[in-house]
Structure 1
Amino acid sequence: MLACYTDRLSLRPGETFALHISVENGPCRLEIARVGKGREIVHTQDGIVAGHYPAPEDADRNGCGWPVALEVTAGADWRTGYYDIVLTDAAGEATHHFVCIKPAAGTTGSKAVLVLATNTYHSYNWWGGANAYSNVTGLMTGKVPFDQAMDEAIGVSSTQRPFTQMIIAAPDDAPRLINMRSRGFKEKPWTADPDWMRKHRISPYDGSAGFLNKWEHAFAAWTEEEGYAFDYVTDYDLDTDADLLSAYTSAFFVGHSEYWSGKQREQVERFVDGGGYAAILSGNTCFWKVRWEDDGKTYVCHKWKGFEAEDVPDADATHLWSHPAFKAPEAEITGLSFNFGGYHRLGMCVSRGSAGFTVYNDKHWALEGTDLFYGDILGGDVPLIGYESDGCQFEFGADGLPKAIPLGGVPENLEIIGIAPVTLGEDSSSGYAPMIPPEKLDVIAQVIHGDGSPAMQQRVLRGHAMLASFKRGKGEVFNTGTTEWAHGLAAHDPFVETITRNVMKRFGVTQS
């Protein structure tokens, strides 16, 4: 076995992090590289000696407790960004971890900041056995049936353990979480690339988080190619540094920023209300409320079990942000919600969908210069809509354009640009075996509508992805409503690129 973890996930140039290693075939070689449009190696070290330590049975909950193998000081010239840590043992086996390098203390390299969705990384990480979703090891070995595995999810997990490698170091050929073509006539449904997933023994959770060869990586590569400058921080940094965003004009959340802590959200709201811009190029954003303990060593995320798993004040509980107990549905800051959205082109979830937005408001500022007009499809060739999407309920106004219904925190002044049908799950009456892990539709129906009946659950199944924006306080929020926006940039889709450039311009992100 070769595995490693760091004592922290973010630091500034000149600061030091500890690397904890377990290796059977030592010594090891260390390589650290900044990853964006390319791979910039900043540090190598040979002859690293470390012991071989077992993984404790409760490593997922309480960490590994391995001793420090070495400490690494970030160079003064290490630019802000995502840094891939690669350890290779004497037998040639490699393992990955990472750190985020923030800008040097007291400085910013940009007026725009990219917030890495590291809370999502932690929620999906199942190294040691389980994650916030299920007993993944039991599920993957066939020892535990699916329903039992989900019941054995852990609500308290440790950051002091390695990351599952398919989460933290997906290979270059890893498939996207979308069916790249629509389902044929009476064709058996599938998800992503089943052959690749079987070959690599992919769990249902490996594709949903991480940087390398996923959404944030695609965004970083595109922005650097375009000459846009961003500082990098993590979700946890927004929790611990209450004034972090005050140095910036705009904050970007890309890909799958699903889990937000209370302090993180409070800071983003203060930022926007004070005149900041939030660009959400993501889907399923801020869906779950989480919290941190033990100076970042313990991550609490009980998901659906939030109010029954622990005896804490409601303000500290973890559950859906839209739960009435919090009086703070996520749509108040995001404009949209997964409660009104769902999946597209996965399994039987809109399996023959266009995978693009139908454009309605072609006069919106974001569409300037796009050559997009009413009724056009945006992103169908990418495909742009898949995996998870956020939306709202709406009705058509006298002008023939969709108007947001202010339900579940959705702001009345939301400007809807484009729409696509999505669903929160697969209809049990379709005749096909479900492939997408089910959401608790009864809970969502009760939370949003105060009615958890089967009829309302069926209503909740039917949703829409939205491309939208709204003004809040002195600031503004732009939300793509889809996890896949960065893949549109990676494909150099001219429509997606032009819209993104419009957002950059309006939100104060400059090119070098």
Structure 2
Amino acid sequence: MIEGYPGRESVRSGDVLTLHVSTTAERFRADFYRVAERLEFAGNTPWFPGGVAPVPPHPDVPGEPASPAADWNWPAFTCAAPERPGLYLAVFVTEPGGAPPEGVRGFGREFFVVRPRPGAESGPILYKKSTFTRHAYNRADNGTGARNSSLYENPVYVRPGGHKVSMRRPGGVDDLSYWDAPFVKWLAEEGYAIDFCTDLDLHEDPELLDRYRLLLSVGHDEYWTEAMRTHAEQFVASGGNIAFFSANTCWWRTHVTDDGTAIVADTDHHVDGVFPHLPATDQWWPPDGAGRPENALTGVSFRNGGMWPGEWPGDRPRGGFAVQHAGHWAFAGTGLRDGADGGPQDFLGAGTPLIGYECDGAAFAFDAAGVARATGADGTPPSFLILGLHVLEPVADYYAMRFHHWNCPPREPEITSPPAATMGVHTVPGGGTVFTAATTDWPTIVGRRMDPQVERVTRNVLDRLGG
């Protein structure tokens, strides 16, 4: 058995990478693979002495052997990070030789990001790996049994503040395998030069985005700090662009603690059946929360969207987005129609599980011509143009999110539109443009080349906003 985690998930090209490892083997090493068109072998560490490290007990739930709040403080081993910037998979091995991994998913491995040195950026596009969300959901399992060590299954509440999650814990790489690896492969095959960063990088560096034209948010991007939000909004206000190929985006405000090794968020999750603090003050949109609706940045919100109620990722209805404004640049070359000429209306992604497993929406109303238009009742900018709509009805297909959990505030009473996945775009006056796909699984459909029209919209967004 072997498992581990990086001391920090991003390093500069050629800098020192720290790995924390526990193993029953006498020795181990880490093999590095760059995630691109394929898993490219990028070197390895020297052999290090092995040893089993303890797992911290849960402070609130007797008998649970793993705490999501504690730094697991396993032995640290240092090595030189790869020189080439990119997204990397570290595979921990205990025997020499052997075949390279057949895929990304699995235990005994972790990911990290190598950032370019200043002035050596690859191009105008920066891909943000949603690491805070990954840590909130990380169960810290190791392939031999479930530890249930996540914010959702065995949360720890610290006072003052909220639920705490350490970023120094082991776990699988399901999120990387499901969303990021297929999409990064597609980007590489299409010839896009991409740099990578983590949530912590965007949180810490107010000048990070100055060196890029387009920021990508991909997959499940639920947890944002005030600094991340501020840096992103300043970027757009100064002419930068963002593409949210994601959903459930910016739902919880989180706070970085412990010198950048943990996050804390006051959410509505219970500890051993008891809700330690309600209302949840770190929800972005309510007045008794952060009071900054996420719509102001993204154009959409999870409170107007929905989620698939079954197993993750599961299968879902395959209706796709009803196309609106087919003449918009986002639809160039797709051949899609919006029905404005009296003909049929097309549906982007029809036949694929594009909508979900979670999706965001904007409050809307249909005009006299039957075109859905954002009302702005939820904080969505007036310039937000709805390009695609998928009404989440009947609720037998989706759990309609009139609120996220039973203990969160209901949607604003002036919002009368049904929950709907709402793809769209808006431009900040005098600033940049924000595109939202409004569904977590957009990068999955693109990365697995399941729909050429969804791919074409993605290229249009990257080319137009990335320059």
TM bucket (normalised to shorter chain) is: 0.7 to 0.9
Deviation at 1:89, TM superposition (A): 2.4
Distance 1:103 1:425, change over 3 A: farther
CA deviation profile, 1:239-276 (whole Å, cap 9, x unmatched) = 00111001111101111111111100100000001111
TM-score by length of 1: 0.76
- Distance, in Å, in 2 between the alignment partners of 1:424 and 1:61 is 39
- Distance, in Å, in 1 between the alignment partners of 2:319 and 2:445 is 11
Tell whether the 8 Å contact from 1:344 to 1:355 is kept in structure 2 after alignment.
Answer: no
Tell whether the 8 Å contact from 2:303 to 2:404 is kept in structure 1 after alignment.
Answer: no
**Alignment match, 2:111:** 98
- Distance, in Å, in 2 between the alignment partners of 1:266 and 1:424 is 37
* Residues 38-47 or 275-284, more deviating: 38-47
Tell whether the 8 Å contact from 1:84 to 1:99 is kept in structure 2 after alignment.
Answer: yes
CA deviation profile, 1:289-340 (whole Å, cap 9, x unmatched) = 111012211211232269x8579xx9xx852111213221000000011110
1:122 partner amino acid: H
**Alignment match, 1:497:** 455
CA deviation profile, 1:29-81 (whole Å, cap 9, x unmatched) = 3201111221111122453212212112144211212222x201114xx3222
**Alignment match, 1:506:** 464
**Alignment match, 1:440:** 405
Match of 1:475 among 432, 449, 458: 432
Match of 1:267 among 225, 231, 234: 231
- Aligned: 1:404 with 2:340: no
Tell whether the 8 Å contact from 1:424 to 1:463 is kept in structure 2 after alignment.
Answer: no
CA deviation profile, 1:328-386 (whole Å, cap 9, x unmatched) = 10000000111100025857x99973341111221222111110001111102222112
SS of 2:412's equivalent in the other structure is helix
Match of 1:419 among 389, 392, 397: 389
- Distance, in Å, in 2 between the alignment partners of 1:350 and 1:14 is 40
Q: CA RMSD in A?
A: 3.1
Deviation at 1:441, TM superposition (A): 4.6
Tell whether the 8 Å contact from 1:29 to 1:87 is kept in structure 2 after alignment.
Answer: yes
The structure carrying a bigger helix percent of its residues is: 1
Question: Identity over aligned residues, as a percent?
Answer: 32
SS of 1:42's equivalent in the other structure is strand
SS of 2:283's equivalent in the other structure is coil
- Distance, in Å, in 2 between the alignment partners of 1:160 and 1:247 is 29
Distance 1:94 1:507, change over 3 A: closer
Tell whether the 8 Å contact from 1:389 to 1:482 is kept in structure 2 after alignment.
Answer: yes
Distance 1:49 1:106, change over 3 A: same
Match of 1:249 among 213, 219, 223: 213
1:23-422 residue pairs with structure 2 within 5 A? 23-45=23-45, 47-58=47-58, 59-68=67-76, 70-75=77-82, 78-90=83-95, 95-127=108-140, 129-135=148-154, 155-163=163-171, 165=172, 168=173, 170=174, 210-212=175-177, 214-304=178-268, 319-325=282-288, 326-344=290-308, 346=310, 353-374=317-338, 375-422=345-392
* Residues 483-492 or 367-376, more deviating: 483-492
TM-score by length of 2: 0.83
1:35 partner amino acid: V
2:426 partner amino acid: F
Tell whether the 8 Å contact from 1:13 to 1:104 is kept in structure 2 after alignment.
Answer: yes
- Distance, in Å, in 2 between the alignment partners of 1:262 and 1:387 is 26
Tell whether the 8 Å contact from 1:123 to 1:301 is kept in structure 2 after alignment.
Answer: no
SS of 2:168's equivalent in the other structure is coil
SS of 1:41's equivalent in the other structure is strand
Tell whether the 8 Å contact from 2:73 to 2:168 is kept in structure 1 after alignment.
Answer: yes
1:131 partner amino acid: S
Tell whether the 8 Å contact from 2:152 to 2:269 is kept in structure 1 after alignment.
Answer: no
2:361 partner amino acid: G
Deviation at 1:231, TM superposition (A): 0.7
- Distance, in Å, in 2 between the alignment partners of 1:271 and 1:336 is 19
**Alignment match, 1:465:** 421
1:114 partner amino acid: Y
Number of equivalent positions: 424
Distance 1:268 1:293, change over 3 A: same
CA deviation profile, 1:434-472 (whole Å, cap 9, x unmatched) = 9x9x93256241x5339xxxxx9xx79x41001100111
